[in-house]
A and B are shown apart, each in its own frame.
Chain A
């Protein structure tokens, strides 16, 4: 990871002022030979609610995990422009730098990925692990400031009364809200969401999406979210990109996805399912 100007790579300075992430020619080949991403390029604007659509196996999850380096891209660039205006290439980060990237780019998951046997509050506090020393954290000594923040974010997602329950005792929708609170405790710049509502029922689905929108609008967090349901995309996304077979096939407004585009993204014969 290098600061722009220090090692001026392929046009790091050409990242626009309103761009937070510039993904360029991103490829990912898994050790077993599967090519999940075949050169994807697009920009994420600061403050937008960008939704990524595509079939299962189209590379959406891989793409998201390359952005916060849960997976390591095979080639390409992921240029990140911080609030202060410095530009770094996330794809080139190594060692400790990867942890720095992850602190700035939080993530929530389809299966919530909480620690089920630990309390809700502790799960939210784990968002502060990145800025807490190893030994302090092992003995559970988080700063009182972090604890205050954790409770505050639990309130924001409307489950502060569950703070001392075990995470496993909560319903799916509530667990996803805990995951959002954990992500917020990181004080991130970007929030990635990998199918955040795919394992929830339709009603809960909207609650969680509404909280994501609130986070986006009230806290000004940039959101990149993988979604299955087009109806949700039209309701929540400010912009959409579509992946198919590891390549970008669409970029634009959610209202531009008509039947012809739908068929191209999801294949002929696919039918749109509505969720209310």
Chain B
């Protein structure tokens, strides 16, 4: 359902994309190499504006290198990704050349290698720390308390669990029809046919990528002020996050469907809406249901991530992580103040407080 009106992918267009990508790869490589030296430098933040300028400058230099190399007939990474199919035939000599001896192969290997090295550096991986005795004992004490819950709050916890399940249900139930409609607007195979459709597709994708990247706990804070603390604010927070996540997951299912039934229904003279309803929807119903149940389940579990952040915050302030902090700051706040988002199960399993 998406042909013809697309412009021809011209060789010029492919060349422009190729050059830009090669430029970025070059700038990234230089930056990665410099970053290996600079990691841990406290003053980096003040230099970010200069970095942006350098990066763009390096991109231009990289683009120049790409153009020079390409004009000699050497195939770059950008060529490998963007070259139009009719130019892709390979000579016997090229087929016989191993990956690491080709220009684009070296680009890939260098990029991956540098990324891994810097990743390890930035993560500050330190296996020995895990083996220090008092650290280990401290961690085990916290873990032991998780396994040894405070039974006296069980009734309260059960009520919270029930509340949480219903809040999550309502949030999911409202999110499903909205995400259902959005999923078709966010699927490339449905929207890619016209320029207007593609613009809507790209716009919605971007919007929802941004909104999905905002943690539910942040939405919870915003809605707690707007709708006051309580279950309603928690539901709204889950709703916003659920719509964004479901729409994304649904649209990926739509993008993975088979074209055959679409052609079958289209060939009968069915309208666009009928085609979607009779050929796309039957293919996506089952996976939609399974993703929806999974989303409800995730919503019931609330956000451990948000809790973790708060503990981290307290840890940074006090310098010590006490078992009481874990319970009081993490679980209580979430469960009582926002109302149910934090999952009663967690409350039940909280460590004993001092």
Contacts and interface: CB of A to CB of B under 8 A. Distances in A.
Interface of A: 29-34, 68, 70-72, 74, 99-104, 106-107, 109, 111-118, 126-130, 134, 137-138, 179, 182-183, 186
A129 B84 contact: no
Given A111-B260, A126-B268, A130-B268, A32 B86 contact: yes
Nearest to B279: A115
Contacts of A128: 268
A113 B263 contact: yes
B5 A34 contact: no
Given A129-B270, A129-B274, 16 more contacts: A31-B6, A31-B8, A31-B9, A32-B84, A70-B266, A72-B3, A101-B269, A102-B266, A106-B268, A109-B260, A113-B267, A115-B282, A116-B261, A126-B268, A129-B271, A182-B268
A3 B87 CA distance: 42
Contact of A72 (B5, B8, B263): B5
A114 B269 contact: no
A179 B86 contact: no
Contact of A102 (B8, B85, B86, B267): B267
Contacts of A130: 268-270
Contacts of A100: 269
Given A102-B268, A103-B269, A109 B5 contact: no
10 tightest A-B CB contacts, nearest first: A113-B264, A130-B269, A72-B4, A103-B269, A102-B269, A129-B270, A107-B267, A113-B260, A31-B6, A99-B269
A114 B282 CA distance: 11
Interface of B: 3-9, 84-86, 260-261, 263-271, 273-274, 277-279, 282
17 contacts: A31-B3, A31-B6, A32-B9, A32-B85, A71-B4, A99-B269, A99-B271, A102-B268, A102-B269, A109-B264, A115-B282, A126-B270, A126-B278, A129-B265, A130-B268, A134-B273, A183-B268
Contacts of A112: 260, 264
Nearest to B273: A134
Contacts of B270: 99, 126, 129-130, 137
Contacts of A129: 265, 268-271, 274, 278
B88 to A, nearest CB: 10
A232 to B, nearest CB: 22
A31 B7 contact: yes
Contact of A117 (B6, B263, B282): B282
A222 to B, nearest CB: 16
A183 B273 CA distance: 20
Contact of B264 (A117, A134, A138, A179): A179
A11 B192 CA distance: 36
Which of A33, A117, A128 has the most B CB atoms < 10 Å from its CB? A33
Contacts of A114: 261, 264
A134 B269 contact: no
A186 B9 contact: no
Contact of B263 (A70, A99, A126): A70
B7 to A, nearest CB: 7
A33 B85 contact: yes
A102 B263 CA distance: 11
A112 B264 CA distance: 8
Contact of A115 (B85, B269, B278): B278
Given A70-B263, A72-B3, A118-B282, A33 B86 contact: yes
Given A32-B85, A103-B268, A126-B268, A113 B277 contact: no
B8 A29 contact: yes
Contacts of B8: 29, 31, 33
Contacts of B5: 72
Contacts of B279: 115
Contacts of A111: 260
B291 to A, nearest CB: 18
A106 B266 CA distance: 10
B261 A113 contact: yes
Contacts of B261: 113-116
A114 to B, nearest CB: 6
Contacts of A126: 264-265, 268, 270, 278
A270 to B, nearest CB: 23
